[in-house]
Amino acid sequence: MKRYFIIYEGTVQGVGFRWRLMQIARKNDLSGHVRNCENGKVECEVQGENVDIFLKESLLPDRFVKVRDHFVKQIPIKEKEKGFTVRFGNDT
């Protein structure tokens, strides 16, 4: 199992990107969260067995989403974390 902290840049806000990431995470039985940043980027923490599949699928363009760049860092696992959520503002 791995946990990634990911920052996405590009056309990623106001286009349903967070909801798409939530669907990918739930489909792959992953936990974590995603949120918009004030600088126009989207940040995500995701963990589970299929995080590499999540990362690959999250970078695929669609009609509205265009990920121009991304940053990935492996971080420590959060034990007992369940589910994947979309966070708003400074939710923790």
Amino acid 92: pLDDT: 54
Q: Which of the residues 3, 18, 20, 35 is marked catalytic?
A: 18
Bridge partners, 31 (sequence order): 47
Predicted confidence (pLDDT) per residue in 69-81, tens digit: 999 999 999 999 9
Among residues 3, 35, 36, 50, the one annotated as catalytic is: 36
What is the chain's mean pLDDT, rounded?
94
Q: How far apart are CA 90 and CA 80, in angstroms?
A: 22
Confidence of residue 62 (pLDDT cuts 50, 70, 90): confident
Regarding the domain delimited by 2-87, which CATH topology (the fold level of the hierarchy) does it fall under? Answer: Alpha-Beta Plaits (3.30.70)
The domain segmentation of the chain, as residue ranges, is: 2-87
**Residue 25: which H helix or E strand, with range?**
helix 17-27
**Taking the mean position of all CA atoms in its chain, how far away is CA 44?**
4
